[in-house]
Every structure is written in C-alpha cells, then in structure tokens.
Amino acid sequence: MYRLNVIRLHLPPLRDRQGDIKLLLDHFLDTLSTQLGKKKKALSPVAMNILMSYPYPGNVRELRNIVEYAVNICEDRLIKPEHLPSYLT
C-alpha cells in the first residue's frame, strides 16, 4: 500500500504566477526545439503578449502543448500569432 497524500503542496494556478510564464516559455522553446529536431524558435512580441495574457485553465501542461504546437507549425525562426492555436487569437 502506498500513501500519496503525505505532504500537501499548494501551487497557485499559472494565471496567478505571471512571472513563471516567461521562464516556462523559454524552457519549453529550448527543450521542445531540441526534442523535435527543430531550430531554436523565438516569440514575436505580439505572440508573447498573447501568451502572457492567456489565463491557462490547463496550467503548465497547456502552456507546454501550446509551445509544442507552435514549434511544429512555425517554419521560420520567429513564432507569430498565426502559429498559435486558433483559440488564443
């Protein structure tokens, strides 16, 4: 028998941790570009604003999925709003 509820940690939702979004974006852009065999991507200022203002109901996993989608869709080095999932724009 295993106990999974030994220590409770309260982690606020991503929408309440604005400072973490930029750090996570940088991390996911690096790691996903490498994992997917793509050149390192950067976010345009407009795409960055969109991603910084989204409430992320799916938290960090949703952010990662958005970045993975954009890295796969974008053929250039710069991720623009048109490379983001349509529900964000």
**Single pTM value for the model:** 0.87
Rounded to 5°, the CA angle 12-17-21 comes to 125
Tokens of 67: 């970045």
Q: Read off the pLDDT of residues 20-62 as tens digits, 9 standing for 90 and up.
A: 999 999 999 999 999 999 999 999 999 999 999 999 998 999 9
The DSSP line for the chain is: ---S-SS------GGG-HHHHHHHHHHHHHHHHHHTT-PPPEE-HHHHHHHHH---TTHHHHHHHHHHHHHHH--SSEE-GGGS-GGG-
Whether 1 has a pLDDT exceeding 90, the answer reads: no
